[in-house]
Amino acid sequence: MTNVPVEYRHNYPLDPLDVVRVFDQSGLKRPTGDLPRIARMFSVPSLVLSAWVGNELVGLSRSLTDYAYCCYLSDLAVDKKYQGAGIGKELVRRTQAIIGDQVSLILLSAPDAMSYYPALGFEPAGSAFLIRRKH
């Protein structure tokens, strides 16, 4: 879906049902069966960017940041109908523009997206540690 006019919004309130639809349509695995949890995930984030075609939410990113040293990009999702149109790349670019070049952008990739992030300038980080959530 190239050449579709996309509008990007910064910290625009998102309806949890729209968020669930984009997550489900993007292939990104999130707890979309738990609507209150999805609502909490987007209620007080530091940085939310969204991509819209008309009145339809088609992509989103959610980051937690101090705007000074580090930014964790926890969600980057684009509806599969719009993947390949540069929306994910633009969401990352806009995130970087907002946080500035003194802030490291960090993410944990979904297994299916491991080849995507290097194309956006991300480098593998072998020094990361993780305590996995229980559910």
Q: Is residue 1 part of a domain?
A: no
Q: Is residue 133 part of a domain?
A: no
Q: Is residue 135 part of a domain?
A: no
Q: Is 7 in a helix, a strand, or coil?
A: strand
Domain tally for the chain?
1
Q: Is residue 39 part of a domain?
A: yes
Q: Quick: pLDDT tens for 37-84.
A: 898 888 876 899 999 999 999 999 999 998 888 999 999 999 999 999
Eight-state DSSP code of residue 103:
S
pTM of the model: 0.83
Q: Is residue 60 part of a domain?
A: yes
CATH code for the domain in which residue 14 is found: 3.40.630.30
Give residue 30's domain range.
7-120
